[in-house]
């Protein structure tokens, strides 16, 4: 099966673009990847040059994993 890079490109994001897509700060995905690499599916993230690339499926997988984390405890006074 042959793939056209123009077609694939619309499903790939740099970590910066993916962060902005989720309306987060531009370094959000870089920070989360360093802190919680287990929240990312290994087959949906690729390092090319200085950029980390993530697929649309990878973003969805991250959102599912991140939503399963335990909520922060509220301080009791």
| Domain region containing 29 | 7-67
- Is residue 2 assigned to a domain? no
d(CA 14, CA 65) in angstroms, rounded, equals 19
Domain harbouring 28, CATH code: 1.10.10
- Lowest average pLDDT, out of 8-17, 29-38, 43-52, 68-77, goes to 68-77
- Is residue 61 assigned to a domain? yes
The torsion of the CA quartet 18, 16, 70, 41, rounded to 10 degrees, works out to: 60
pTM of the model as a whole? 0.77
- Is residue 73 assigned to a domain? no
Give the pLDDT mean for 18-42: 93
Give the pLDDT mean for 68-75: 59
**pLDDT tens digits, 48-66:** 999 999 999 999 999 988 8
pLDDT score of 73 more than 90? no
- pLDDT value at residue 67: 79
């Amino acid at each position: 099966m042959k793939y056209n890079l123009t077609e694939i490109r619309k499903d790939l994001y740099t970590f910066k673009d993916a962060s902005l897509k989720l309306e987060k700060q531009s370094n959000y995905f870089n920070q989360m990847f360093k802190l919680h690499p287990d929240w990312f599916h290994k087959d949906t993230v690729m390092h090319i040059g200085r950029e980390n690339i993530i697929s649309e499926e990878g973003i969805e997988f991250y959102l599912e994993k991140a939503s399963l984390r335990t909520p922060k405890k509220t301080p009791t006074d």
